[in-house]
């Protein structure tokens, strides 16, 4: 074979290889296709993070951590608590003795726990002196307790004061013990607290990012 023929053969092989490589390269190139958008009719999000999707959630404002049913609604707990107030006063006085201060503070905390509740303070006097004077004294006593509750953070419009004077006695005797029992301010408040039953589990849903 002449040199000329050899060169022609080598050139032909080179051209054939280049054409094959170009064909292989072009076979790996595809036209761009956009990601298809899924047609989803239901809202799969969980805005209140309770594990129930919005499409099935009948209670979309469930508090965080509440135990919910399949409809996303929490179970309500109704609890009743009662707080009593019973304060005694010295004769012819509306000053509150320090030993009753904790009782008033606890009442204030109770009212703050139950913001829908209000209180009526009922003042009384013993049957010593004139009825008119005892009426005013009983009102001053209930007003003194009211001011102390306000100092502990209770809003004034939640407190009503009333004085009964010496018309309602808990002890009918004319001795010092009976008089001391009648010099008083009393109140009873019942508060109702509605709250969601918490989910008692070590697993909690992650907040939405």
Lowest mean pLDDT among 52-66, 89-103, 177-191: 52-66
Is residue 19 over pLDDT 60?
no
More confident residue, 161 or 57: 161
Among candidate residues 87, 112, 90, 115, the one with its CA nearest the CA of residue 100:
87
Residue 207: per-residue pLDDT: 42
Q: What is the pTM for the complete model shown? A: 0.58
Q: What is the distance between the alpha carbons of residues 91 and 55, in angstroms, rounded to a whole number? A: 68
Distance of CA 50 to the CA centre of its chain: 16
What domains sit in the chain, N to C, each tagged with a CATH number? 77-196 (3.30.1330.60)
Is residue 27 over pLDDT 90?
no
The pLDDT tens digits of the residues spanning 42-60 come to 677 777 776 777 777 767 7
| Tokens 């301010």 belong to residue | 185
Q: What is the distance between the alpha carbons of residues 124 and 138, in angstroms, rounded to a whole number? A: 5
Rounded to an integer, the average pLDDT of 15-44 is 62
Contact at 8 Å (CB) between 169 and 92? no
Tell me the angle at which helices 101-113 and 131-151 cross, rounded to the nearest 10 degrees.
Answer: 60
Q: What's the mean pLDDT when you consider all of the chain? A: 78
The band of 62, judged by pLDDT with boundaries at 50, 70 and 90, is: low
More confident residue, 114 or 98: 98
> What do you get for the CA distance between the two ends of the chain, in Å?
77
Residue 120: per-residue pLDDT: 92
Sheet holding 184-196, edge to edge: 76-88, 184-196, 119-123, 159-163
Q: What is the distance between the alpha carbons of residues 202 and 168, in angstroms, rounded to a whole number? A: 56
Q: What is the distance between the alpha carbons of residues 124 and 85, in angstroms, rounded to a whole number? A: 13
């Amino acid at each position: 074979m002449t040199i000329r023929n050899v060169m022609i053969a080598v050139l032909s092989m080179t051209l054939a290889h280049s054409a094959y490589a170009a064909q292989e390269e072009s076979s790996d190139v595809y036209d761009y296709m956009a990601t298809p958008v899924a047609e989803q009719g239901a809202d799969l999000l969980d805005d209140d993070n309770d594990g129930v999707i919005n499409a099935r959630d009948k209670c979309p404002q469930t508090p965080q951590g509440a135990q919910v049913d399949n409809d996303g609604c929490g179970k309500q707990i109704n609890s009743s608590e009662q707080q009593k107030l019973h304060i005694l006063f010295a004769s012819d006085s509306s000053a509150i003795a320090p030993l009753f201060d904790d009782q008033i503070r606890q009442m204030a905390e109770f009212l703050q726990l139950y913001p829908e509740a209000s209180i009526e303070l009922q003042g009384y006097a013993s049957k010593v002196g004139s009825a008119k004077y005892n009426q005013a004294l009983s009102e001053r006593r209930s007003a003194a307790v009211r001011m102390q509750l306000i100092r502990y953070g209770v809003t004034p419009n939640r407190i009503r004061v009333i004085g009964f004077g010496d018309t309602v006695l808990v002890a009918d005797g004319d001795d010092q013990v009976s008089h001391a029992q009648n010099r008083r301010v009393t109140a009873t408040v019942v508060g109702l607290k509605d709250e969601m039953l918490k989910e008692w589990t070590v697993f909690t849903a992650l907040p939405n990012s």
